[in-house]
Amino acid sequence: MHSMLKIGKLGICVMLMALIVPMSVYAGSDEGMVEVIGAGSSTLEEIVKEEPDILEEIQATAAELEDEQLAMTVEIKGNQVLYITTLKDALYTTMSESSVKALAQNLKEGISGAASEFSALAEAIDDAMDLEKGTVAFVIRYCDSNGRILAEEEFRAE
């Protein structure tokens, strides 16, 4: 499924950013101290608040992956990374209710098929941030143009 590939690309972007940030250093005060970015942060949300460029880069990647049928956004809340894919009106309004139900089922199956990849991403971020296994979660959500959730799944390290 094409949109799952797009979400996979976003997942890799989030993972790389989460791995880079806790390990990155920058020159501190005039005294020449070095400070670890993200040190003392207990959540991904705190890290992106300290370093807003990270979320901006992830959101820019999501925007690049949009097309005439799908809009994509990424939100980070606590240790939860939410990928929200919205079907635009052009696609959604032409579908019958039975087609929408079939689409929702196909989306759920597609999301489930990516479970091991997203669990592995979550585990890599848990490890990078020295968090208990299963702390970071990836939520994949597909919505219609009215915000109604068609399919959703949450993945954590196994």
pLDDT digits (tens, 9 = 90+) for 107-140: 888 888 888 888 988 888 888 788 899 999 999 9
CA 129-131-132 angle, to 5 degrees, is: 160
Q: Is 111 helix (H, G, I), strand (E, B) or coil?
A: helix
Q: What does the DSSP assignment read for 7-76?
A: HHHHHHHHHHHHHHHHH-EEE-STT--EEETTTT--SHHHHHHH-HHHHHHHHHHHHHT--SSEEEEEEE
Ramachandran angles phi, psi of 70, nearest 5°? -130, 140
pLDDT given for residue 23 in this prediction:
36
Question: How many domains in the chain?
Answer: 1
pTM of this prediction? Answer: 0.72
Per-residue model confidence as pLDDT tens digits over 39-74? 455 788 888 888 778 778 878 877 877 777 788 888
Structural domain including 37 reads 2-156
Residue 82 has pLDDT above 50, yes or no: yes
Bigger pLDDT: 119 or 24? 119
